[in-house]
Amino acid sequence: MFSKILIANRGEIACRVIRTARRLGVTTVAVYSDADAASLHVAMADEAVHIGASPVGDSYLRGDHIIAAAKQTGAEAIHPGYGFLSENPDFVDQVTAAGLVFIGPSADSIRAMGLKDAAKRLMEKAGVPVVPGYHGEAQDIVLLATKAREIGYPVLIKARAGGGGKGMRRVDNPDDFSEALSGARREAKAAFGDDRVLVEKYVDKPRHIEVQVFGDNFGNAVHLYERDCSAQRRHQKVIEEAPAPGMTPALRKAMTEAAVKAATAIRYSGAGTIEFIVDASQGLKADRFWFMEMNTRLQVEHPVTEMITGVDLVEWQLRVASGEKLPRTQDEIALSGHAFEARLYAEDATKGFLPAIGTLHHLRFPERAPARASMRIETGVREGDAISPYYDPMIAKLVVHGHDRATSLSALETALAGTEIAGSVTNAAFLAALAADPDFASGDVDTGLIGRKQETLTAIPAPGDEVIATAALAAADVAKNRDPSEPWASLVGYAHFHAGARNIALKAGENTITARITARTDGGFDVATDNGIHSLRAGGGKRLARWPEHVTVFSGATGYNFGVPDPLARADDAGAGAGNLRAPMPGLVKVVRSGPGETVVKGQPLLILEAMKMEHTIAAPHDGTIAEIAAEGAQVTDGTVLVKFVETDA
């Protein structure tokens, strides 16, 4: 076993690796960018080395800086985590050339599986079924369009490099192929530095089922059963589970055998995942699954596999990389119970899952596991940390395990309802709605489920009277040092209320709510709004968080955010014309489709904003004439005016 390793990553995966290394007595070295100087993974590691500025190209993608940090600190090996350099074979070569050990597969294995088209040709030779499609080298648009017609619409354009849904477009008819291809290529180039694509048949009711495999340097390879990752938005996973619901013995046998065959074909060593697409239109059948790709690294969703097998996959990574054989044989790996993982992101589900930023002024996870279940929280942030525009906006992963799927799903719903986050928009309410969806709950899930029900799943009900009343009482803030668990108890009998009432203004989105609070002699309060009067007792039981100029009231998994306007502050009218279109997030203006003087209609695409390596189409919010529009290549921040419209007389 190694005595010291360096972790070439950040956030929750760096923290995850540190925990296992610490348990095994292995010293850890963290690396960090400017933005991560005070981050949790830096605080947890035994040592930490600064490797560059905040953008990933200046820090976490600088292999030379990372290797220098390893040699400087005396680390023997480098754990890549996932993302960044984890599947970069040139980096593996550099690590090996420096006399260090890469905790993962060989560069040859990564190269064999790193490009989807080449990997599928290799799998065909190995006898592993692959999705019908074009996986060739030629990239001429006429050829690709011709192949799409031959395959038959709908088709899926996919970047041949990378993953995470980037560089992927579904195309339903030939007229849209050229535009979709251009978008996929731009996104793939930005994310992976490679704009080449492949074209495949789009499966009508696809399930994304993957198999965890593990190999060592002695020719041994095993599987640790399957995970279902079909619950996706924009081709990115949000809730994963293991085992797959509805899995049949015949399909499990065929799929796991194919996965081990794939790993053996490239003499794979370390943790890896073989991803399959399954046609679930007629149920799960052993002849209706196809190889999609192999991820030659640890997966984000690996905790659900750990929960059902009792295996610490990071420990296995360290043991295999240090020269040991696999700790267990296939017969010694048993499946027990059911597990779910929900990815908590800083993103606005109501706006197409746009990434968000902000400071986590309030962060609380359930303190104990729900009844009849176990739970673990995987996170790389603490209360007070900022969600940066430079990196993936993940806040945490909630992982639960129960003796069966129903118990585990109930535990997930309870865990989500008990999570409190204030300071940034999150997807917690969306995750809770998805977990409660009848189709998801029954296991009838495919990769299109969220898309079909997105409007329903992302809808946030208006705050009820009790929520508004609670926010108003918290916003009153007449006692500076009160017990935060009793946010309004100290208001009882306070002089400001002896005269009868006090008015409080709240901002809920674009709306202003005025509440009139009256303290009663029995210790309660009457809160009057436009919807009537609501009565609350002191210590009314609602969960809430107070943060600068805001109050958040939690109701289940939904956090209702209210602004608390400063009555003494003047409104900033600079550039705040009602017709202006502002950037919903920091990013790069990639493509501009309109110009000054052009008349546009509501919903017309005006420009494409690239943020966190994904493209987001920004459309006109209303009919109008453009006065000014941002230039291509402009770097913008959250709230920057992208488009100014010509003002019209009311």
Residues belonging to the active site: 297
Copy the structure tokens of residue 283: 């149920």
Q: How far apart are CA 8 and CA 49, in angstroms?
A: 11
Nearest alpha-carbon partner for 381 in 406, 408, 357: 357
Nearest to 636 by CA among 575, 577, 585, 573: 585
Apex 471 CA angle, 467 and 476, nearest 5 = 150
Assess contact for 104 and 321: CB atoms under 8 A. Answer: yes
Tell me the two tokens of residue 11.
């956030």
Query: Amino acid identity of 527?
Result: V
β-bridge pairing 77-79 and 4-7: parallel
Question: Which parts of 139-250 are beta strand (E)?
Answer: 155-159, 168-171, 197-201, 206-215, 221-233, 236-242
Range 506-511 contact pairs with CB under 8 angstroms and sequence separation of 24 or more: 506/468, 506/471, 506/472, 506/475, 506/551, 506/562, 506/563, 506/564, 507/562, 507/563, 507/564, 507/565, 508/463, 508/560, 508/561, 508/562, 508/563
Residues contacting 462, CB < 8 A, separation 6+: none
Taking each helix axis from N to C terminus, what angle separates 141-151 and 177-192, rounded to the nearest 10 degrees? Answer: 110
Query: Which amino acid, one-letter code, is at 470?
Result: T
Cα 355 to Cα 351: distance, rounded to the nearest angstrom:
9
Type of residue found at 375: M
Cα–Cα distance measured from residue 144 to residue 179, given in angstroms and rounded to the nearest whole number: 13
- Give dist(CA 209, CA 88) in Å, integer: 24
Look up residue 94 and give its two tokens: 């550099």
Pull the structure tokens for residue 503.
């008015």
CA distance 72 to 288: 51
Locate the DSSP E strands across 69-220.
77-79, 101-102, 133-134, 155-159, 168-171, 197-201, 206-215
Cβ neighbours of 495 (radius 10 Å):
7
Q: How far apart are CA 513 and CA 527, in angstroms?
A: 12
Q: What gap in Å lies between CA 314 and CA 309, rounded to an integer?
A: 13
